[in-house]
Structure 1
């Protein structure tokens, strides 16, 4: 299914006129966009960046007025350029004149606006413009999204509304008038509000009330900080009990804030906010739980959904080239904990990936996030970028992040193989090295797969290991640990006894006892190899077959 285009004026309404303003649009033309990317100075001169595969909306990040005007003057007006450009240099007369000559819509971005928040908001509008809620609430109707909801609440309460997620990041907001205070302005621009005010909210118990109660909380004005009066209500996920009755869970999804404007907030604002919170809960849950159309297409291309894949059709739908090399990156958690592939983590990764490679695609599936880079074959630069991004996003995952980078594949038809390669690496490593490749981690990956194959085939299981385990259980001994350390040190009694903190003669006695219990001769190299493999395989099966590093037990 093709991606639905969105009118540019709808994007502008979502962003708010105080932060992004339309400077020029081709006369009489309806401008539609269905994709957005960051554009940097190099994109203006690099071959192939302004063709039919380019994004329709460019965010001109770090591009000066002279460079932007010069590029607009060179643009081919036969459909090879983006349809619209957002820039913080749009007030420059040369940029405006060049945009008019090129027939490209131009929008001015507020100097203090954060590009990452702007990108995230636009991407949300494009991804979820068709998201609708099924509420029968007659106050708001049955056909709305978060931005429309914010505007409707603003009309009913006579205030200015913002809808924030659980981390106080603004997801949607109503139009702002001249009465918008500094806190609202900074929040929408993506900046943190005054610290003194945040401390006041803490002192007044606002955050605690939002955590513990579904009630609307009144926040008084603060004249010294020029902060106006507000009402705020928590948004909680709606759950069903065993009787099928709906109710609010303790899972906080976000908040709805109403700032008082020129008129006092309406007297029935509490009722309006409670109804809006219920609708917002359904909208946010649906957006988070249901992947976008693009995400599903990327998952099909990566081969994680199974079945036949029509790669040419997917490539055309995703506007990426069929030919040329490609690479895949897989991101997971450190230490085997489940990766919380939250919207924030996926969005942040998408932002960084788009800045590195404009045609990149990102999708979460299961406990992992995958990044696809078409027309990419430089392992060195991709690994370097991945290390930087993993380090930046560490705070998003409490247990930390790790990543695997695939080898380049020649065409998109081989992308599923590249994804399978990064899964092999992530399954066979534990994250001691945060970013790696199959070439760099071949030993633990292959050993892990060998261990798993042995554990899965009963005929490859050596019953003599069971005899050793039975002896240890019956006698409270540690013969298994002793022989494992002994073999890991290649039969060096001195080093092995030091690690075990026992006398060398004690270890010699234990090894002799192991030989008697298992009816083996550990002086034979083949016997030592088999014993080491069997001990490692059984230990891996007991602990964690996918995440332990067998190289720590079995050495070449």
Structure 2
């Protein structure tokens, strides 16, 4: 996936933080967070702008420079400029997907933090495990999650086939080979048992022989370990090695799913997860964020049950917008903190592009709520609560993006209706009587009265909305008032009836009527 090209200060350079950087970020003079990330991943940055940026870095103090850069544009001019700036340069494979590179970087950094925090514990790093399995079983190893995304891998040699190269780079393998795996029942056998499966070579598709075993936990299949045969045969005990590795990997993956990384846990606390107070100064220092200064908080929820926001893709896009952006997932929802943003127009425009991209490229339909300006880090948890209120109850526009300010009325009205619904004694039995009358007589008095009240008593406008004659609407409203015994000229009666009819309509909608 990567290769070291330049290391002006040697290859033992400490890297603790990483961020995606786009060309627009390089052009933003001095617009950087208080602590510059140690590692920059240059996404879509051309050679000419990279050379100019490195030349500018050479004139800055060391504390204002990253320690290393990963990039795809790494020609001779870029290498020379990086060397002159004293920044290590790492080449990224041209076919590698950035949304595959970034998670690997974060997994490696987090594994390093855990080893530093608890060096006496047995090593469970998946990259170490892949290297050991490759050495003991004889071959090249890839460890994948339940969605066939590569989590870790061992070193490759010249005998690595196209399937291995593409999967490590974050790209799907040959479709014909994946079809063959399904026809051979390989995926079904991985899900059904803990046996080691021998997958034969496929000369027509230029794939080599493989052994694969499922990684199984209490909740089912957590992933799989693939061992590709290289220039020499597998070791005699290769199957035993794979079974043992699957058990170790199951513990590691289950632990990582149950307990988020140190940084992830800090971010979740910042957003108010887990309860209790937050030491904002310590958290700001740990996350390399300015403690004060306005920001924006965005909440995203899937449009419909049974799905979740793709966190890794969201983190990629948010980091591309702002290197110090923070992303966390809590349940099926995800939240973004954009430090330094106070313009509602700019944040709303970016969020609309984000929602549109998820729908067109990933078939994931989202709703988004924005709170801004958030005055400082201490107010992030409260902002998350506010966007949750919007996501819970607001009526969203066609583009499914709204701000807290735009939705205040809808949110408060929805919560008032929720409170009334929770207390049966606050329900007006006269509305139930009107509903029963409509059901028994095939009438439409309740709906007609609700539309009449929504149009502030404008008979012609309400009749147009209902597609009926004004005289028909006048009769229905008069008849409704007679059935339930209210005076629609009385402001209190009108207010109460409109609220109760709105509650009725919400209840009927929730029942699918």
TM-score range with shorter-chain normalisation? 0.7 to 0.9
The gaps in structure 1 that reach 5 residues or longer are 1-18, 133-140, 240-248, 549-556
CA distance in 2, matches of 1:378, 1:281: 45
- When residues 84 and 468 of structure 1 are mapped into structure 2, their CA distance, relative to the original with a 3 A threshold, is same
Deviation at 1:49, TM superposition (A): 4.4
Deviation at 1:463, TM superposition (A): 4.1
Instruction: Report the counterpart of residue 378 of structure 1 in structure 2.
Output: 343
The gaps in structure 2 that reach 5 residues or longer are 116-120
Give the conservation status (yes or no) of the 8 Å contact 1:24–1:100.
yes
Deviation at 1:148, TM superposition (A): 1.4
Partner of residue 97 from structure 2, selected from 108, 111, 114: 114
Give the conservation status (yes or no) of the 8 Å contact 2:455–2:461.
yes
Instruction: Report the counterpart of residue 231 of structure 1 in structure 2.
Output: 211
Give the conservation status (yes or no) of the 8 Å contact 1:147–1:172.
yes
Q: What secondary structure is seen at the aligned counterpart in 2 of 1:106?
A: strand
CA distance in 2, matches of 1:518, 1:35: 67
- When residues 378 and 488 of structure 1 are mapped into structure 2, their CA distance, relative to the original with a 3 A threshold, is closer
Instruction: Report the counterpart of residue 205 of structure 1 in structure 2.
Output: 185
Give the conservation status (yes or no) of the 8 Å contact 2:142–2:226.
yes
Higher helix share: 2
Instruction: Report the counterpart of residue 217 of structure 1 in structure 2.
Output: 197
CA distance in 1, matches of 2:383, 2:301: 16
Give the conservation status (yes or no) of the 8 Å contact 2:33–2:324.
no
CA distance in 1, matches of 2:33, 2:384: 28
Deviation at 1:331, TM superposition (A): 0.5
Instruction: Report the counterpart of residue 535 of structure 1 in structure 2.
Output: 501
TM-score by length of 2: 0.86
Asked if 1:366 corresponds to 2:331, the answer is: yes
CA distance in 2, matches of 1:51, 1:206: 48
CA distance in 2, matches of 1:425, 1:516: 38
Instruction: Report the counterpart of residue 298 of structure 1 in structure 2.
Output: 267
Give the conservation status (yes or no) of the 8 Å contact 2:202–2:208.
yes
- When residues 460 and 189 of structure 1 are mapped into structure 2, their CA distance, relative to the original with a 3 A threshold, is same
Deviation at 1:191, TM superposition (A): 2.1
Give the conservation status (yes or no) of the 8 Å contact 1:231–1:257.
yes
CA distance in 1, matches of 2:281, 2:507: 41
Q: What secondary structure is seen at the aligned counterpart in 1 of 2:372?
A: coil
Give the conservation status (yes or no) of the 8 Å contact 1:128–1:287.
no
Give the conservation status (yes or no) of the 8 Å contact 1:77–1:103.
no
- When residues 291 and 543 of structure 1 are mapped into structure 2, their CA distance, relative to the original with a 3 A threshold, is farther
Deviation at 1:362, TM superposition (A): 0.6
Give the conservation status (yes or no) of the 8 Å contact 2:21–2:319.
no
Give the conservation status (yes or no) of the 8 Å contact 2:368–2:401.
yes
Instruction: Report the counterpart of residue 288 of structure 1 in structure 2.
Output: 257
CA distance in 2, matches of 1:381, 1:412: 20
Structure 1 stretch displaced more, 155-164 or 201-210: 201-210
Structure 1 stretch displaced more, 354-363 or 479-488: 479-488
- When residues 396 and 287 of structure 1 are mapped into structure 2, their CA distance, relative to the original with a 3 A threshold, is farther
CA distance in 2, matches of 1:340, 1:374: 24
Structure 1 stretch displaced more, 444-453 or 176-185: 444-453
- When residues 61 and 417 of structure 1 are mapped into structure 2, their CA distance, relative to the original with a 3 A threshold, is same
Deviation at 1:127, TM superposition (A): 3.0
Partner of residue 99 from structure 1, selected from 61, 82, 86: 82
Partner of residue 275 from structure 1, selected from 241, 244, 258: 244
Q: 1:252-331, aligned counterparts within 5 Å?
A: 252-331=221-300
Corresponding residue pairs, total = 505
Partner of residue 36 from structure 1, selected from 5, 15, 18: 18
CA distance in 2, matches of 1:499, 1:118: 54
TM-score by length of 1: 0.80
Instruction: Report the counterpart of residue 68 of structure 1 in structure 2.
Output: 50
Question: For residues 33-77 of structure 1, what are the alpha-carbon distances to aligned partners after superposition, in whole Å with 9 as ceiling and x for unaligned?
Answer: 111112233333423246751110011223333433343333224
Instruction: Report the counterpart of residue 521 of structure 1 in structure 2.
Output: 487
CA distance in 1, matches of 2:96, 2:267: 30
- When residues 515 and 97 of structure 1 are mapped into structure 2, their CA distance, relative to the original with a 3 A threshold, is closer
Question: For residues 351-408 of structure 1, what are the alpha-carbon distances to aligned partners after superposition, in whole Å with 9 as ceiling and x for unaligned?
Answer: 0000011110011123321100001112222112111222222389877211111122
Give the conservation status (yes or no) of the 8 Å contact 1:329–1:405.
yes
Deviation at 1:22, TM superposition (A): 1.6
Deviation at 1:104, TM superposition (A): 1.9
Asked if 1:393 corresponds to 2:358, the answer is: yes
